[in-house]
Amino acid sequence: MKVHIWFALRIVLATTIFFAISAFAQSPATAPGPIPPALLNAHSVFVSNAGSDSGLFPEPFTGDPDRPYSEFYGLLKSSNAFTLAPDPSQADLVLELQLTAPAGPTRGSKQLGAADPVPMFRLVVYDRPSHFILWTETQSIEIALLQKTHDRNFDSALDALFNRFLQVAGKPPVTANTSH
């Protein structure tokens, strides 16, 4: 009988230790931080074109350096998620969109990373009254061999960035539209 009690106590002790370790492993650092109320309560936005790095148009992407801004603005307009302000002074938020092509880490003039740029979108959300950055999102554009695939990846990345912004702002996502 003592053997059975001792065995049962060992199982209870092992189970207790397992659950204690599991609870300890879930640190509070994994909990998401709060989304600024100014972002969640915004009704109007102004879209700022922060430009595109050189060497991305007309290859590998078709169009011109204003393509990211024009397509993002079109997504916002068709979503009806926000009122589009014609001037930043009339908006709750200012959205700054930029297409960058970082080349990777360098040391002096020597390239340490990939030699070709890996394009990405960068969306910075400013609180218009305070001029503080509320949120920043980036979205990489997958590398491709054909220009048609580059353009499809461009559209997919822009859609993903747009829907992530809507999610953070507490708005419902829109269905992907690859025919920008």
| Cα atoms in the Cβ-side hemisphere of radius 13 Å centred on 83 | 11
Q: Look up tokens 């930029």; give the residue.
A: 98
Q: What is the mean pLDDT of residues 12-26?
A: 50
Instruction: Inform me whether the pLDDT recorded for 163 exceeds 90.
Output: yes
Predicted confidence band of residue 22 (pLDDT cuts 50, 70, 90) = low
The pTM (predicted TM-score) of the whole model is 0.76
Distance CA 10, CA 148 (A): 64
pLDDT reported for residue 6 = 55
Of the listed ranges 59-68, 73-82, 101-110, 165-174, the one predicted with least confidence: 101-110
**What are the pLDDT digits (tens) for 71-94?**
999 999 999 999 999 999 999 999
Domains of the chain (ranges; CATH) run 37-103+112-168 (3.40.50)
Distance CA 49, CA 89 (A): 16
pLDDT reported for residue 55 = 87
> Do residues 119 and 158 lie in contact, with contact meaning Cβ atoms separated by under 8 Å?
no
